[in-house]
Structure 1
């Protein structure tokens, strides 16, 4: 797609990563991700980090999730709550409870959703625990 004259924007990269995910082509997504990180080290967006973490989560690769999250922290990109949930789940699968608690403490999950009177309600949490 990029060789056909299409511009190499972050949106294009996001679409390609999504296509690779949907087509079960994790190895190609990983090579594209490495190219993106090396070429655009300081300008990789939160959305692309989240996309890659979602891809690895979808294919059950917790080690890779932790690697991408480490890069995200190194570049000081603040993760969203969905990304934090996926990372803490990966750390739990890897048996790294101390790191999991540290991630929760550092990136504080502030909200959770509960069902109350048949409606989905967002409430504040002091400490988030996975169900």
Structure 2
């Protein structure tokens, strides 16, 4: 079992306490101290396991998930952001993308986790949950207005979402926005996806332009010495439409849109 019987009993008692989150309270009355002492009887690992098990056992209801999360943090003095990140990692390993989305959205509704790492987790989970349109809406609302400073790995993630879901106009628009800030891609995979998008849109001159502009990504070896790239030359000669073939695994996982 995730917890010993005594610890399970403590967690049950927690649910019977005042439901107001302690991380909003400034005072330390008797009830708050009592609540804090109960929480200390349970290890952080057991708290995390308890929440993961609870979330996996719940029916697919936003209200049920949000209620469980509210109860879980109700006795905490500070918002347990580190523990919740561990919960998210576990849910990702279990490929529980819908639950990841719900937990992240709940965190954001509390004004917590408003970082590019958390945003990246949400974008990835939405993509894996086949909600690319919602991922696009979130990008436009929360991230896309700040292209001069968005980390490249997050931009690459969104380009990959657009590429896999045949949202090619959005893909080239994002890349042009990055170019407007003189943001140079650091990975040739980005250039290849953008070039493919231009080709599928019939914009062959744009495809040639970016291959020429970023040819250094294809001609430098690991030692930094220039080398002719046969792959680049063959890419330039190819024509016709191709179907996007990249997978979500080509990226490293990251750290008020539609809710479900």
Q: TM-score range with shorter-chain normalisation? A: 0.7 to 0.9
Partner of 1:92: 199
The correspondence of residues 30-41 of structure 1 with structure 2, limited to 5 A, is 30-35=136-141, 36-38=143-145, 40-41=146-147
What root-mean-square deviation, in Å, do the aligned CA atoms of Structure 1 and Structure 2 show? 2.1
Residue 87 of structure 1 deviates from its aligned partner by: 0.4
Unaligned runs of 5+ in 2: 1-103, 221-226, 239-260
Q: Which of 216, 229, 245 lines up with 1:125 in the alignment?
A: 229
Q: Does 1:110 align with 2:218?
A: yes
Q: When the two structures are aligned, how many residues end up with a matched partner?
A: 120
Unaligned runs of 5+ in 1: 113-122
- TM-score normalized with structure 1 length: 0.81
The runs of at least 4 consecutive aligned structure 1 residues that moved more than 4 Å come to none
The correspondence of residues 4-15 of structure 1 with structure 2, limited to 5 A, is 4-15=110-121
Deviation per CA, 1:48-97, whole angstroms, max 9, x where unpaired? 11011100111112211111111111122211211100000111101111
Residue 23 of structure 1 deviates from its aligned partner by: 0.9
The answer to which structure, 1 or 2, has the higher relative contact order (CA under 8 A, 6+ apart) is 2
Partner of 1:42: 148
- TM-score normalized with structure 2 length: 0.43
SS at match of 1:69: helix
* Preserved contact between residue 195 and residue 210 of structure 2 (Cα < 8 Å): yes
SS at match of 2:148: helix
SS at match of 2:194: helix
Q: Which of 110, 130, 133 lines up with 1:24 in the alignment?
A: 130
